[in-house]
Every structure is written in structure tokens, then in C-alpha cells.
Amino acid sequence: MLSQLHGQLQSTTAKLTELKKRASNPQTAKAKPKINKPGPFSGKPFQVESWCAHMNSYVQSESPEEALDITLSYLDAEAFFWWTAIGSKANILTWNELSENLQRIFSP
């Protein structure tokens, strides 16, 4: 029985080694899809929903706090003025909270 377990361990180790080799090889490693950067959001009412959806796709792999920081750098014009005057004082801590507020404020 011990020799059987030893054989299984060696087989599993060999498989893991092969998987690591494939993962580190750029030709066999699966490439992450490139997500287009969203444009800036200026506060135009008919763009808020599509912009938030695009931004959500862009930041989905980030932590909620990092997603908020990234998103804030894309606010422009009226949306930026809203953030500096009101939004930054509204205890908005995550991208989801910002998205909800942007859609509430800038939807027609």
C-alpha cells in the first residue's frame, strides 16, 4: 500500500510540474482578454448608464476601493465638479456606491 501511495504521489508531482511548465510558457498560457479603457464621463445624462456598465467591466477584477480610485480618475467636467463639491463628502467608499450615485444624479 505504501508503494502504491508513493507511486500516486510521484505521478501527481509529475503532472503538477508539467502544468507549471505550460502555465509559464507564453505560447501555451491563456492570455487575459484585453478590456478597452472607458472614456471619461463628463456628466451627460444619456451616457451615464452605458458608461457605468463599461467602467464596471473595466474594474471588475479590482478591489471595490481600488475600483473607486480608478473610476474617479475618469470623471470629467460636470461629473468631476459634482464629485469634488458633493460626492466626496457623501461617504461613498466603493465603485458600486459611486455607480449608483452617478446614475441617480445624472440620469435624465
| Single-letter amino acid code for the residue at 15 | K
| Residue-wise pLDDT tens digits, 36-90 | 899 999 999 899 999 999 999 999 999 988 999 999 999 999 999 999 999 888 8
The pTM score is 0.67
| Helical residues (DSSP H) of 73-106, grouped into ranges | 77-85, 95-106
- Apex 80 CA angle, 42 and 36, nearest 5: 55
| Residue-wise pLDDT tens digits, 82-108 | 999 998 888 899 999 999 999 999 998
Helix count and strand count (H, E) for the chain: 5, 0
CA dihedral 40, 44, 48, 52 (to 10 degrees): 10
State residue 75 phi and psi, 5-degree precision.
Answer: -80, 140
